[in-house]
A and B are shown apart, each in its own frame.
Chain A
Amino acid sequence: MYSNTIETIFIMVLVLILSGCAARMAILPGEAPPMHTVSEFCDDENVSLTRDPWEGFNRSMYTFNYEADRFVLLPIVDAYEAAVPRFARTGVSNFFANIREVQTFYNCILQAKGKKSLVAFGRFLTNSTIGIGGLFDPATAFGWRRGNEDFDRTLETWGVGTGPYLILPILGPNTVRSAGGLAVDGGVRWAIANAIDPFGGTGASTQIETGITGLETVDLRYRESFRYYDSDYPFEYYMVRYLFSQERELKIIR
């Protein structure tokens, strides 16, 4: 009798877990259920395959980023657009893209992509010289397509899984793996900058480096046209999450 009950409970729990969505639609005590609940539509295939166990945290971070945009970043971007002419803004974007060629270069090597690493190397040399320190992008005109590689993709090549979805402050949608990749690439860059110490002779290298990091953040936001909640669609969070995973799907091949 006793073991039967345990067994029944065990099976029920299993059924609830396996049926997934049936168990999730929590109706709080004293609350009347709505006319339609998700349990009616469990027989359809889910569209999003992104694991998002920390949705509550992620949604709060999504909101945080919206406010950070609204009060800090977007006003700065607006001022940047008003004060700096377009060709100069493009120059700034090119400059930082050129620095990222270094990241593409070593990640290509880590992924054993020989030809692509040579392209990145060639692009970096060309744009740093003919392109005047990276302000222009003649390499693209020569037919060398920019290939963005980062440590996230290196980890992927090595067979590391993505881990759950994670929205980072300011940086936005990521996975645990891509967040780790950002940290590694950032660390490598810091190490290189430290070794070369390009502003060592100026006596104000910390200030200059802070300024450059600031400018890069502004450039990053300037190039990104996405605005949180701009769609006015109540389910925007899920659309963004889906698109994020789709973009990764498409990038896997190249």
Chain B
Amino acid sequence: MADRVGGNGSYDEYFVPYGLVAPGQMFALIAQRHMAEFGTTAHQLGSIALTCRARANRNPHAQMFERSLTMDNYMAARMISRPLRLFDYCLETDGACAVVVTSAERARDCPQPCATIRAVAQGGLPAMQGGLVFPALMRQELTTQPSATVAEALYRRAGLGPSDIDVAQIYDCFTITVLLQLEDYGFCPKGDGGPFAAGGAIGLEGSVPINTAGGNLSEGYIHGLNHIVEGVRQIRGASTNQVAGSEVCLVTSGIPTATSALILTKGR
């Protein structure tokens, strides 16, 4: 007899029997909804993939360092779960990274310049749903994620706002994940993430350069810890895609689960 799926608070019995078995399929449903509500296009999602790839092409440690990506490549790549194509998906990576956290006083004495953790926040939405990831499809809003709640607490604790962020490392398991967070963290109004990204705002010369090491999409998927490492590099002035004068860096983590974020600032 086939094994039964679901039960015990997983709620998989509502999803897996219908072939909803992978997070990318869930994000495809969210992306389709964003497209319908706001007119978001494949090219706009592609601009996020291309931005991350261009950063990786200047990071010798990135998995995709030597592989360029054009919009033609992006659009011609095979569909995985419509509307998401191959390059809307992050990489699979064997790798490791580490950060050392200590007191501000002790950090001043270390050989490397420190990055100060200005604020952290973690949280969900008022009606989160249980289970793992698929029940997020049952929330009232698909296009606003727990990052919106976290952003509010994070900015309040930091005494900063989106316009103070010099550079951002935005968790990018999929391109649509970045687009939703650009809106939720207040870099553009809800629904404007597509034109905002495609208009160059997330590039090195833009208002909020993102994923300067290449991100999960093109540097490697180290579960987002690589985003913290790159955030520290930006504060130290040690990135291979250094943003001039960057003193405030936002680092975010995954959705649609309860999520978290931090703001790093130049040591002081």
| A and B part of one assembly | no
A interface residues, Cβ below 8 angstroms from B: none
B interface residues, Cβ below 8 angstroms from A: none
